[in-house]
Chains A and B, each alone.
Chain A
């Protein structure tokens, strides 16, 4: 892990192991009952299949539902292909860890999931990425990004109060509103949130019609907009207890770890189906890191999580499935234990053991 040493330039000859997803026949991936079965499982070779049962401490009684599918995806910045032919499933109920050396394309892959790569000029994609069976290119981008939320490497709260940071996330773009409404018809989570909004609006209406009230009371009630949603989001991110007494503090006055949890709260406020985390702890101290890792593990039940990390221990601690990438290619995909203990690919073993990277 000598940071000075560049990654080896030598191209890796891919000996396709059963764990590599893109070697799989399609129907294996598309089986709706692929919940518990890992991909390593389904091809079922050489005893690796049992590994999933072995790590019961994380896999306890939950159902992994496939939400996103990355299929033969190629990504380029200009002339340079940075992700080459990667296929992966993203499931709710588990954490997918993306590991690999710098320049392996994992962040680019992550950013392509909510089409954030499109912000960069010259970015291009080939292959399919689907969210609940719909190609993400066909979903209106602001609506898509509310369904697939993202947290960045550096904490980046906006220059407003803690409360307003979350409210900012909650406000829907006019452009995306219609699309969001269409989605609401079939998504219960959204319904829930809408109900909450409606309640808030009802409160406001009541307030308007309420006639004579003390100005102070009106002010306090005026703040009720989205209040439930804000508090829920802050609670889910494990930040509420620390900031409850002063939600109007500037968000940038929080500590780094708190800022990052605020960013997570902000991302959770929109009730996303998928949460993308791009090395969320790399700028944080160990205690904040531990808090955020706990949070990630707790959140995976309600939201599919993809985390990019350089920290092998972190991947081990939080990820259920791990994908190892190298120079843009997916080398190996498997359960956490499989990758770290019984990797089938020599390059993975080398990376995991810290021989390069």
Chain B
């Protein structure tokens, strides 16, 4: 049937279904008809996608299957036993869970305000421009730095006698440099670039005329940022913070370097909260490391269970980040 015939029919036929003898659009041109290199590339892409799924599935299933026999609720609420070198007596991982939460809290509380402030300054002021460029590069650099490098840097900095108050000092006068607060501060560094990035992105999504509308009401730039721009960017900021939390939860190097390798939380002496912050402990990541065959502890099954819990935690956090990033259905959107 020729094109004109189809047109004629469409015009006359009204809203009814196309005629039965109308040519159906081809479903998709077969890949087999493609040139060979294209075909190969296509199948490679396809295989990569499948491999990705298999790896993801495999990780979860492996952890689950390996650890499931030991996955008991009691593990989540009992502390690890320092002396236990066999499966039955090594206790649970309450302390690592607490450590993870505490470290994440410290890192986020430090990183969020700084990150938001840096992003606001970069997007809204950014003057002088050489400073803005420098700040931008610095954020990029921190974002790109491997956490083990940051951890080493932290160890050097926090061993200074001037910063001894953040951790404990041994009898010989050397600064231990390992504590929750130290690890949390360095953890904030790895969360910072994520928060800066997503806050900047969110701020730059606010159209210019919205800022100008606020200025036109006689508002200063600071008021505009605080009352209009940051509230408007809330979903973006929230997803940045959540991503940052995910990174903190998943980091091992900083914990091993700066939190020490005690599996239990060992507070320092002194006031209740301060002693905890200055004390050492572990997180799920370091617990997994210590208990895995690679570490000293010899409780691999516990490591599998802890790894599974950790995985679930990070997945939940990431899902939350995605949800927050999408915002609510009736999200804040202006015409540009």
Bound CA–CA A242/B336 (angstroms)? 26
Contacting pair A156 B334 (CB below 8 A): yes
- Give the distance to chain A from B122, nearest Cβ to Cβ, in Å: 16
Chain B residues, CB < 8 A from A150: 212-213, 216
CB contact under 8 A between A169 and B217, given known A159-B228, A252-B330: yes
Question: Contact between A145 and B218 (Cβ–Cβ < 8 Å)?
Answer: yes
Contact flags A108-125 to B (C-beta < 8 A → 1, else 0): 000000101001000000
Which residues of chain A (106-159) have a CB below 8 Å from chain B? Answer: 114, 116, 119, 141-146, 149-150, 152-156, 158-159
Q: Which listed residue, B218, B219, B330, touches A144 by the CB 8 Å rule?
A: B218
Q: Which residues of A contact B (CB under 8 A)?
A: 114, 116, 119, 141-146, 149-150, 152-156, 158-160, 168-169, 172-173, 175-176, 250, 252-253, 263, 266-267, 270, 276, 283
A119 adjacent to B215 (CB under 8 Å): yes
Question: How far does the alpha carbon of A146 sit from the alpha carbon of B215 in the complex, in Å?
Answer: 10
Q: How far is B227's CA from A146's CA once the two chains are assembled, in angstroms?
A: 17
Q: Given known contacts A154-B334, A156-B334, A158-B228, what 16 new A-B pairs fall within 8 Å (CB)?
A: A119-B215, A142-B218, A143-B218, A144-B218, A145-B217, A146-B217, A149-B216, A150-B213, A150-B216, A155-B335, A159-B231, A159-B232, A168-B217, A168-B228, A169-B217, A276-B216
Contact B232 A270 (CB under 8 A): no
B209 contacts partner chain A, Cβ-Cβ < 8 Å = yes
If A158-B227, A159-B231, A252-B333 touch, does A152 touch B217 (CB 8 Å cutoff)?
no
Indicate if the CB atoms of B218 and A176 lie closer than 8 Å. Answer: yes
Within 8 Å of chain A (Cβ to Cβ): is B13? Answer: no
CA distance A160 to B226 in the complex (A): 13
CA of A142 to CA of B219 in the docked complex: distance in angstroms? 6
A156 touches B218 (CB 8 A): no
B215 touches A116 (CB 8 A): yes
Confirm or deny: B210 has a beta carbon within 8 angstroms of a beta carbon on chain A.
yes
Q: How far is the CB of B167 from chain A (nearest CB, A)?
A: 42
Partner of A152, one of B212, B220, B332: B212
Are B335 and A283 closer than 8 Å at their CB atoms? yes
Task: Give Cα distance in the complex from A146 to B217, angstroms.
Answer: 6
> Interface size (B, Cβ < 8 Å)?
24
Within the complex, the shortest CB–CB distance from B117 to chain A, in Å, comes to 20
| Chain A residues in 8 Å Cβ range of B219 | 142, 168, 173
**Alpha-carbon gap, A195 to B210, bound state (A):** 30
Residue on B with the closest CB to A121? B127
- In the assembled complex, the Cα of A250 lies from the Cα of B215 at a distance in Å of 21
Total CB contacts across the A-B interface at under 8 A: 79
What is the bound-complex CA distance between A158 and B207, given in angstroms? Answer: 11
Q: Which of A156, A168, A263 has the most CB of B within 10 A?
A: A156
Query: Nearest chain-B residue to A152 (Cβ)?
Result: B209
Q: List 5 A-B contacts (CB under 8 A).
A: A145-B217, A158-B214, A173-B219, A250-B330, A270-B218
B267 to chain A, nearest CB (A): 42
Report the minimum CB–CB distance from A288 to chain B (whole Å).
14
Residues of B within 8 A of A155 (CB): 334-335
Inter-subunit contact B218/A173 (CB<8 Å) = yes
Cβ A156 vs Cβ B215 within 8 A: no
- Cα distance, A250 to B232, chains bound together (Å): 12
Chain B residue at minimal CB-CB distance from A172? B218
Rounded to whole Å, the gap between the CB of A250 and the closest CB of chain B is 7
| B269 lies within 8 A of chain A by Cβ | no
Q: How far is the CA of A156 from the CA of B212 in the complex (A)?
A: 10
For the complex, is B86 an interface residue (Cβ under 8 Å from A)? Answer: no
Q: How far is the CA of A168 from the CA of B218 in the complex (A)?
A: 10
Residues of A within 8 A of B9 (CB): none
Q: In the complex, how many angstroms separate the beta carbon of A237 from the nearest chain B beta carbon?
A: 14
Nearest CB in chain B: distance from A179 CB, A: 10
**Given known contacts A119-B215, A176-B218, A153 and B209 CB-to-CB distance under 8 angstroms:** yes
Contacts of A143 in B (CB 8 A): 218
| Docked complex Cα distance between A280 and B140 (Å) | 41
Residues of A within 8 A of B228 (CB): 158-159, 168
Whole-angstrom distance from the CB of A158 to the nearest CB of chain B? 5
Q: Which B319-333 residues have C-beta < 8 A from chain A?
A: 330, 332-333
When C-beta atoms are compared, the residue in chain B nearest to A276 turns out to be B216
The residue that B209 contacts in the complex, of A154, A172, A173, A253, with Cβ under 8 A, is A154
Residue on A nearest B127 in the bound complex, by CB: A121
- Min CB–CB distance B301 → chain A (angstroms): 50
